[in-house]
């Protein structure tokens, strides 16, 4: 079985981001202020939100945070809101979407390489710390996404991703050998 790792996840993310940009390119700039219903985002606001959507993961993983209690959510929310509400032209929004997407996709690609380098160096505690840092994102993904999707190709990719996480963890710590004594 081939596992779905960072490289494949990055490629899938790039495809979705490229499709988002293609759609945005087709929308005339004078329609970027369109709001489909009250209390919803305009086209421009939605595109800025999509552009900023990877900020949380980038900050958490980029700074190596392993304890969410140490994350300043108020400060993070302020940064996110500032980026999301910054006025931008259509060209600036498209550029923002592309740049932020490229940064995040590169991060995803590098995650697998980082783990592989740590494995070669037998730095197992560092691997566990890196995996622990990703737990909030992984938990959120599997809590909100149905792995056993009705579309076989989506289901296969999600199972491959889950298998990749399991395989990485198993190479670092085989918990099948743990025995609990009955004291």
Residue 49 has pLDDT above 70, yes or no: yes
What number of residues does the chain have? Answer: 183
- The CATH number for 6-173, chosen from 2.40.50, 1.20.120, 3.40.50, 2.60.120, is 1.20.120
- Pairwise CA distance, residues 114 & 120, whole Å: 10
State the pTM of this model.
0.64
Q: What is the pLDDT of residue 136?
A: 67
- pLDDT tens for 76-118 read 888 888 988 999 999 999 999 999 988 888 887 877 777 778 8
20-29, 47-56, 174-183: lowest mean pLDDT where? 174-183
Mean pLDDT of the region 7-21: 88
- pLDDT tens for 118-145 read 888 888 888 777 777 666 666 666 666 6
Q: What is the pLDDT of residue 98?
A: 93
Spans of all domains in the chain: 6-173
What sign does the CA torsion over 63, 68, 72, 75 have?
A: positive
- Record the tokens describing residue 55, joined without a space: 């900020």
- Record the tokens describing residue 23, joined without a space: 């759609």
Q: What is the pLDDT of residue 47?
A: 94
> Following DSSP, what letter does each residue of 141-176 receive, concatenated?
HHHHS-SS-SSHHHHHHHHHHHHHHHHHHHHH--GG
- Pairwise CA distance, residues 58 & 82, whole Å: 16
Q: What is the pLDDT of residue 27?
A: 96
Residue 3 has pLDDT above 60, yes or no: no
Q: What is the pLDDT of residue 77?
A: 84
Residue 53 has pLDDT above 90, yes or no: no
- pLDDT tens for 38-47 read 999 999 999 9
Q: What is the pLDDT of residue 149?
A: 75
Q: What's the chain's average pLDDT?
A: 81
């Amino acid at each position: 079985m081939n596992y779905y790792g960072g490289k494949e996840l990055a490629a899938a993310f790039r495809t979705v981001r490229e499709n988002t940009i293609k759609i945005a390119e087709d929308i005339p700039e004078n329609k970027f202020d369109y709001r489909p219903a009250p209390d919803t985002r305009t086209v421009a606001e939605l595109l800025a939100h999509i552009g900023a959507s990877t900020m949380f993961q980038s900050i958490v993983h980029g700074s190596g945070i392993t304890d969410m209690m140490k994350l300043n959510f108020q400060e993070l929310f302020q940064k996110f809101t500032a980026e999301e509400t910054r006025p931008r032209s259509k060209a600036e929004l498209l550029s923002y979407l592309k740049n932020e997407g490229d940064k995040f996709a590169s991060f995803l690609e590098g995650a697998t390489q980082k783990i592989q380098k740590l494995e070669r160096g037998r730095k197992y505690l560092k691997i566990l710390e890196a995996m622990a840092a990703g737990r909030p994102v992984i938990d959120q993904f599997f809590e909100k996404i149905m792995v056993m999707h009705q579309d076989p190709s989506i289901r296969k990719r999600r199972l491959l991703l889950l298998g990749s996480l399991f395989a990485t963890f198993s190479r670092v710590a085989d918990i099948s050998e743990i025995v609990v004594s009955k004291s």
